[in-house]
Amino acid sequence: MTEIKITTMDTELEFAVPPKTKGRDLFMQISRNLGLRETWFFGLMYRGPNNEQIWFDSSKKSVADIKFSARNLKYRVKYYPEDIGLELIEDTTIRYFYLQVRSTILSDEIYCPPETSVLLASYAAQERHGDYNPKVHQNGIFKKEKLLPERVFQQHTMSRELWEESVLKMWQKHTGMLTEDAMTEYLKLAQNLEMFGVSYFEIFNKKGTQLLLGVSALGLNIYKVEDRLNPIIAFPWSEISNINFKGIKFTIRPTDRESKMFVFFANDAFVNKHILNLSIGNHSMYVRRRKKDSLEVQQMKAKATEQRKFKLEQRSKLLHEMLAREQAEKRENDYQKQIQVLKEEIERRDASLMEAQRTIQQLQDQLRELQIAKEKLELQQNELRDMMERLTHSRNLEEEERRKLEEEIKLKQAQVQKIQDEVEARNAETRLLQQKIEEANRREEQMRAEQEALNLQNERNKEELETVPDGTNVELPSLVEINEQLKDDLMLLQQQLEQTRLESKQTELDKIHRENVASGRDKYKTLNAIRKGNTVRRVDMFENM
C-alpha cells in the first residue's frame, strides 16, 4: 500500500491505496471524502524542487508514478469559471473556492487594492461571524485574524484599529446575508481583480523579448514582465484550434486560416508541459460552458436551488423571530424607563405633597395664634371700656387721681392699638396662607388625579410587556441598496487612504492600478480593447515586440 497525504485549504487527509490505483480514481475518492461533486474545477498539485507549482496529471498516471517526495499532494482549484455567480453550484464548491481565493489575496499572490481589500474583509467577517451584533462582537474581534494583506497595512499611516473600524462599518451593511451568499459576493468582487484566475509563465518571442503568458478561463493573454494587471495582446479560446509544444517551443494554431502559427518559447520544456496541461483543460471548460448542461449538472442545479430556497425561508423565519425578540426587548426597556420616570415623578409629587402639608400645618398654627391674639385684643378692649366708664363716672375725683387714670387709659389705648395692628398683620398673613392652602388643595387634587392616571397607564404598560404587536415589518433592504451604501463607504475610505498613503511604500502594481482608475480602465474594458482586430494582426504584433 502507498501512503498519500492530501492537504486541502481547511483539512488534511491520509490515504493508503494500492500502487496500481489510477490517478483519476484517487482524485475521485478524495473528492467524495470532501463532499465535492463539481470535480471539473479541481486538481491535485505539488511543489517542485524550485517551489514551482506542478499539477498531477490524474488522467494518465497511477499512484506508483508519484515520486516519494511528491506524495504530499494539495487539493486545489485548477480551473476558474468565467462567471462565479452562474457556474458555481454547490455550497461546498463555493467554500473551497472562497478559501483558496481569500488565501491568495491575503498572501498578495493576487493584487488587490486597499479599498477593495477592506470590502472583501467585510464579507469574510459575515462569512465567519454571521450578522454583526454589538453585544457579542466587541472591539478587538479581528485581533487574531489575518484581516488584510500585510502590504496594505504598511502602505498607509492608518492604525490597525482604524482599518478594523472601516471593515466593521461595511460588515454591518451585510445583515441578513447567508454565509454562502457572503462567500459568493466575496468571489464576485475578487473575480473583477485583474490577476484573478490567471496563471503566469515567463516566455519570450522569436526576437528574444521577455514577456509573460497568462492562462485563464477566457483565453491566453500576453503581458509585459513589469505589468501583470494589463494584458497587451489577447487570444480567446474561440480563436484557438490546436496547441502543442516541442522542447521549449510552444505552437498555437489559430482558427483563422489566414493567420500564421502563434509561436513562443519557454525557458524549460517542463514549463511548456505545464502550459499545455492548463491550456487544454481551460479550453475544454470553455467549450463545455457553451453546451447544454449534462443531466448530472441539471440535477445539481435543481437541488441547489431547492436547498437555497429552504435556507432563505429558514433565514427569513429566524430574522423574523430575532427582530420580534429585539423589538420585545426594546419595548421592555422602554417600559422600564417609563416606569423609572413614573417613580421619579411620584417621588417628586410626594415631596410636593409633604411641602403642601407643612404649609397647611403652618397656617393652622398661625390661625390659632391669631385666635389667641383676637381674644387678647377683646380682653384689652373690655378693660379699656371699663376704664373709660370709670373716667366718666369720676368727674368728681380729685385732679391727681384723674390724671393718673388718664395716663392708664392712654397706656391701655396704646396697648390695644399695638395688639390691633398685630391682629391686622396676622389677618393679612392668614389671607395669604389661605390662598396658599387653596392653591395647595388644588395642586393636591390635580396630583391625585394625575397619579391615578399614571397608575392606570403603568398597569397598561405591564400588560403590554407580555406581547409584541402583530404585523411587524421584517423586510430587509434590497441588495442593490446595500451595494449603493457600500459605494459611499468605499468613496469615503478612498479619500481617507489618499491622505494616509506612504508613497515610498507603493509598489509598481499600486501605481499601475491608480493609473487604470484615473483613466477609467478595468479588467474587462482592457480585454475588450485588446481583442479588437483579427488574429493575424495580433500574432504580428506579438512577433514584433
pLDDT at 354: 82
Domain ranges of the chain: 2-77, 91-191, 199-290
Condensed to tens digits (0 to 9), the pLDDT of residues 182-193 reads 999 999 999 999
- List C-alpha distances in Å: 172 to 118, 121, 212, 223: 13, 12, 41, 39
Question: Any idea which fold 199-290 has?
Answer: PH-domain like (2.30.29)
The partner residues of 72 in beta bridges, in order of sequence, read 5
Q: What is the pLDDT at residue 464? A: 35
Lowest-pLDDT range of 29-33, 149-153, 454-458: 454-458
pLDDT tens-digit readout, 322-376: 677 778 778 888 888 888 888 888 888 778 778 877 877 877 787 787 788 778 8
What is the per-residue pLDDT across 518-545, written as a single tens digit (0 to 9) for each? 998 888 888 888 888 788 888 888 888 8
Cα gap 327→334, rounded to integer Å: 10
Note the pLDDT tens digit of each residue in 239-285.
Answer: 898 999 999 999 999 988 888 899 999 999 989 999 999 999 999 99
Sign of CA dihedral 472, 478, 482, 484: negative
**CB under 8 Å, gap of 24 or more: what pairs does 86-90 form?**
87/289, 88/38, 88/184, 88/187, 89/38, 89/297, 89/300, 89/301, 89/304, 90/36, 90/37, 90/38, 90/300, 90/304
pLDDT band at 228 (very low <50, low <70, confident <90, very high): very high
Q: Which three cell numbers stand for residue 188?
A: 464576485
Write the class of the CATH domain 91-191: mainly alpha
The yes-or-no verdict on residue 465 having pLDDT over 50 is: no
Q: Name the pairing type of β-strands 2-7 and 12-17.
A: antiparallel
**How do strand 2-7 and strand 72-77 relate by DSSP bridges?**
parallel
Copy the grid coordinates of residue 450.
394625575
Bridge partners (DSSP) of residue 245 are 250
Pairing of strands 199-204, 262-266: antiparallel
Contact between 245 and 272 under an 8 Å Cβ cutoff? The reply is yes
Q: For residues 394 and 376, give the distance between their C-alpha atoms in angstroms, rounded to a whole number.
A: 27
Annotate 157-204 with DSSP letters as a single string: ---HHHHHHHHHHHHGGGTT--HHHHHHHHHHHHHTSTTTT-EEEEEE
Could you give the CA distance from residue 235 to residue 47 in angstroms, rounded to a whole number? 29
Angle at 428 between CA 424 and CA 429, to 5 degrees: 115
pLDDT of residue 60: 65
Q: Which of 185-189, 257-261, 447-451, 465-469 has the largest mean confidence?
A: 185-189
3-state secondary structure 205-241: CCCCCEEEEEEECCEEEEEECCCCCCCCEEEEHHHEE
Q: What distances in angstroms separate CA 123 from CA 52, 94, 185, 263, one per listed residue?
A: 31, 14, 7, 43
pLDDT in tens, 276-292: 999 999 999 999 888 88
Residues 192-214 have a mean pLDDT of: 94
Tell me the three state secondary structure of residue 72. Answer: strand
Which CATH class name applies to 2-77? alpha beta
Of residues 501 and 310, more confidently modeled? 501
Q: What does the pLDDT look like over 39-68, one tens digit per residue?
A: 999 999 888 777 778 888 777 677 777 765
Measured between alpha carbons, how far is 52 from 102 in angstroms, rounded to an integer?
20
Greater confidence (430 vs 42) lies with: 42
Q: Which residue has the cell 508613497?
A: 503
Distances (CA, A) of 521 to 77, 175, 194, 481: 28, 32, 11, 25
Mean pLDDT on 489-503:
88
CB 355 within 8 A of CB 439: no
Buried b / exposed e across 354-366, counting CB within 10 Å, b at 16+?
eebeeebeebeee
**106 exposed, middle or buried (CB, 10 Å; 0-12, 13-18, 19+)?**
buried
Question: 398 pLDDT exceeds 90?
Answer: no
State mean pLDDT over 64-90: 84
Q: With pLDDT > 90 as the criterion, what percentage of the chain qualifies?
A: 37
The CA R_g of the chain, rounded to the nearest whole Å, is: 47
- Is the pLDDT at 455 greater than 60, yes or no? no
Domains 2-77 and 91-191 share a fold: no
The percentage of residues in the chain with a pLDDT greater than 70, rounded to a whole number, is 88
pLDDT of residue 467: 30
Listed range (273-277, 292-296, 439-443) with the worst mean pLDDT: 439-443
